[in-house]
Amino acid sequence: MKKTISLLTVAMLLVCALTGCGGNKEAVATDGSTSMNKVIVALGEAFEADTGITVTYNATGSGAGIQAVQEGRCDIGLSSRDLKDEEKANGLEGTILAYDGIAIIVNPNNPVSDLDIETIAKIYTGEIKNWKEVGGDDAEIVLIGREAGSGTRDGFESITDTEDQCQYRQELTSTGDVITTVASNPGAIGYASLASVKDTVKALTVGGVAPSEETIKDGSYVIQRPFVLVTQKDAKLTESAQKFFDYITSEAANEIISSAGVVPAN
Amino acid sequence: MKKNRLFENIVHGIFLILGLITVGCVLLITVYLIISGIPAIKEIGFFNFLFGKEWASTAAEPKYGILPFILTSVYGTAGAILIGVPIGFFTAVYLSKVANKKVRAVIEAAVNLLAGIPSVVYGLVGMLVLVPAIREIFDVPDGASLLAAIIVLAIMILPNIIKVSITALDAVPKEYEDASLALGATPTETFFKVSVPAAKSGIAAAVVLGVGRAIGEAMAVMMVAGNVANMPSLFESVRFLTTAVASEMAYSSPGSLQRNALFSIALVLFLFIMLINATLNFFLKRDKEK
């Protein structure tokens, strides 16, 4: 008797754990990149005001968002990196929503204000270790980065061609942590989405070009990456999800995308 | 009469099911961890995984050695115990035996408050105050280090150690102490030669509980330790077992070896915790048998 009951309980728990929650038909579920928070929330609010359809956003990270689309747990996945070939082979499709500039940030007290992309790569690979080598004070350079798998790290390392070679002193798990750390350490250098950079840190110009919407759009600011909407190639979106998708990729949404600090692609 | 018995049986059944929910959760987690943790260990190789010195999960040629994490967790916990236990132990002796009621009430309230502070707050304060302070005091380029993590952990385990030790010390029969005092021992001699030995199982349990909390903490540590997979060194950025799982989980792609290896790390951590729990049970049982 006892055995039967305990077996039943375990079975019941398994069923509860394995059947995820089914999505609400009316709402549009998005899931993914934490860097896309600002832009997706702004778009979702505007869309809801227009149509009355709610948009939910789950900030889990690019990898998790892509997984969620694949498993059908959300309508639209959000990725702040291009889809990998293996992900495309799994029947996923990416549509670029916007471009995000990655700002290189230093402490405001740091006299250095311009570096070119090669120098940045040399700094991050540990070839240049002291600020005086690039015209700054005599202080060790403290490299602040993001954790392995982060879209920003992936974006930064692929753009500067420093994959797997960065000699990080700290690997932090959020943009906010990076900014806080750089703001509190005079020798620190870090990278973060331009949209989230605050006055507590100084954004460097790269090769003489300051990061801004114009320079990202015309391609002269080189450290930038795409914000990608991920959908299943074969499966059709629900009616409300399709509406949302069309809305955010239309020109009408550009103003909202710009106001979130990133550059619209369409 | 029969109706009553039926009712009793139903109620018993409900209680049994409620009780089994906990057991079910533990079982589910254990089974899930073992099932998802074993494949990566098999693929990487048991020795390469546990004793590999390099972790580069997203590199073109990924390396999955978790020795740095294991050692960091062990050193970090040991360091926290080294700082936390003496402070906690003497505080407990003082509060239980020496302090007058008013002082005890105030300090106990503070200790309880310390226990209630969420770990993310410890992390935040550590990040904004402790890390820059270590950088200034020790003149190192960056303060995020094993030392910062040890200090934060030591403070976090204090309430556990103090509270459990106090309970153990309070339970020492007053007659023991009276006898000691009557034989001419000073109060200090009495506390350390009679009360503390009588409460030693409880105090040991307190230490083990502290170890458990320290080794399982992720959030606060993640914010102050720097999270680079270096071999542990006091002023270097380090990554713990917990933070290794937490920091890469969100971005690892599903089904990949990286994700599976993270489950394997969780499994190792789980085994550590089981070991600690077994030790704790051993101390508590010995206490009861006496």
Query: How high is the pLDDT of residue B70?
Result: 95
Assess whether A197 and A122 both reside in one domain: yes
Give me B54's structure tokens: 């390099």
- Beta-carbon separation of B59 and A163 below 8 A: yes
Assess whether A24 and A46 both reside in one domain: yes
- Beta-carbon separation of A184 and B131 below 8 A: yes
Chain segment B130-156, per-residue pLDDT in tens: 999 999 999 888 889 999 999 999 999
Query: How high is the pLDDT of residue B108?
Result: 93
Computed on alpha carbons and rounded to an integer, the radius of gyration of chain B in Å comes to: 23
- Domain containing A165 equals 100-224
Q: How far A51 CA lies from chain B's nearest CA (Å)?
A: 32
Query: How high is the pLDDT of residue A150?
Result: 75
Assess whether A110 and A132 both reside in one domain: yes
Phi-psi region of A164 (alpha: psi -120 to 50; beta: other; left: phi over 0): left
Chain segment A2-18, per-residue pLDDT in tens: 555 555 555 554 544 44
Assess whether A104 and A94 both reside in one domain: no
Among B residues 107-136, those touching chain A with beta carbons less than 8 Å apart: 127-128, 131-132, 135
Question: In whole numbers, what is the pLDDT of chain B averaged over residues?
Answer: 90
Question: In whole numbers, what is the pLDDT of chain A averaged over residues?
Answer: 84
What are the chain A neighbours of B135 within 8 Å (beta carbons)? 185
Assess whether A178 and A202 both reside in one domain: yes
Query: How high is the pLDDT of residue A197?
Result: 85
Crossing angle for the helix pair B257-289 and B67-93, nearest 10 degrees?
30
User: Which residue shows structure tokens 């305990």?
Assistant: A6
- Beta-carbon separation of A13 and B128 below 8 A: no
Q: How confident is the model at residue A24 (pLDDT cuts 50, 70, 90)?
A: very low
Assess whether A92 and A41 both reside in one domain: yes
Cβ pairs bridging A and B (under 8 Å) = 116
Residues in contact with A10: Cβ distance below 8 Å, sequence separation at least 6, in sequence order: B20, B24, B27, B28
- Beta-carbon separation of B247 and A171 below 8 A: yes
Residue B272 pLDDT greater than 60, yes or no: yes
Q: How many domains does chain A have?
A: 2
Residue A152 pLDDT greater than 50, yes or no: yes
Query: How high is the pLDDT of residue A162?
Result: 87
| Contact (CB, 8 A) for B165 and B191 | no
Residue B109 pLDDT greater than 60, yes or no: yes
Q: Which helix (H) or strand (E) holds B168?
A: helix B146-170
Assess whether A183 and A123 both reside in one domain: yes
Q: A58 or B112: which carries more pLDDT confidence?
A: B112
Chain segment A202-226, per-residue pLDDT in tens: 999 999 999 887 888 787 898 988 8
Residue A172 pLDDT greater than 80, yes or no: yes
| Beta strands per DSSP E along chain B | 55-56, 63-64
Q: How far A168 CA lies from chain B's nearest CA (Å)?
A: 7
Assess whether A206 and A242 both reside in one domain: no
Helices (H) and strands (E) in chain A, counts: 10, 12
In this structure, which amino acid lies at residue B262?
L
Query: How high is the pLDDT of residue A202?
Result: 93
Average pLDDT over every residue of A231-235: 87
- Beta-carbon separation of A164 and B127 below 8 A: no
Residue A20 pLDDT greater than 50, yes or no: no
Residue B121 pLDDT greater than 80, yes or no: yes
Cα–Cα distance for residue pair B222/B202, rounded to 1 Å? 31
Query: How high is the pLDDT of residue B288?
Result: 66
Q: B249 or B223: which carries more pLDDT confidence?
A: B223
Residue A21 pLDDT greater than 60, yes or no: no
Average pLDDT over every residue of A56-79: 87
Please classify residue B32 by burial: count the beta carbons closer than 10 Å to its beta carbon, then call 0-12 exposed, 13-18 middle and 19+ buried.
Answer: middle
Do the interacting molecules here have an ipTM over 0.85?
no
Assess whether A104 and A218 both reside in one domain: yes
Residues in contact with A179: Cβ distance below 8 Å, sequence separation at least 6, in sequence order: A105, A190, A192, A196, A197, A198, A200, A201
- Beta-carbon separation of B250 and A17 below 8 A: no
Assess whether A174 and A235 both reside in one domain: no
- Beta-carbon separation of B28 and A5 below 8 A: no
CATH code for the domain in which residue A47 is found: 3.40.190.10
Query: How high is the pLDDT of residue A3?
Result: 55
Q: How confident is the model at residue B102 (pLDDT cuts 50, 70, 90)?
A: very high
Q: Tell me if the pTM is above 0.80.
A: no
Assess whether A104 and A208 both reside in one domain: yes
Assess whether A65 and A8 both reside in one domain: yes
Q: How confident is the model at residue B28 (pLDDT cuts 50, 70, 90)?
A: very high
Of A192-196, B157-161, B211-215, the one with minimum mean pLDDT is A192-196
Chain segment A107-143, per-residue pLDDT in tens: 999 999 999 999 999 999 999 999 999 988 899 999 9
Cα–Cα distance for residue pair A207/B60, rounded to 1 Å? 29
Tell me the percentage of chain B whose pLDDT exceeds 90: 74
**What are A29's strand-pairing partners?**
A56
Query: How high is the pLDDT of residue A111?
Result: 93
Chain A nearest-CA residue for B17:
A9
What are the chain A neighbours of B132 within 8 Å (beta carbons)? 184-185
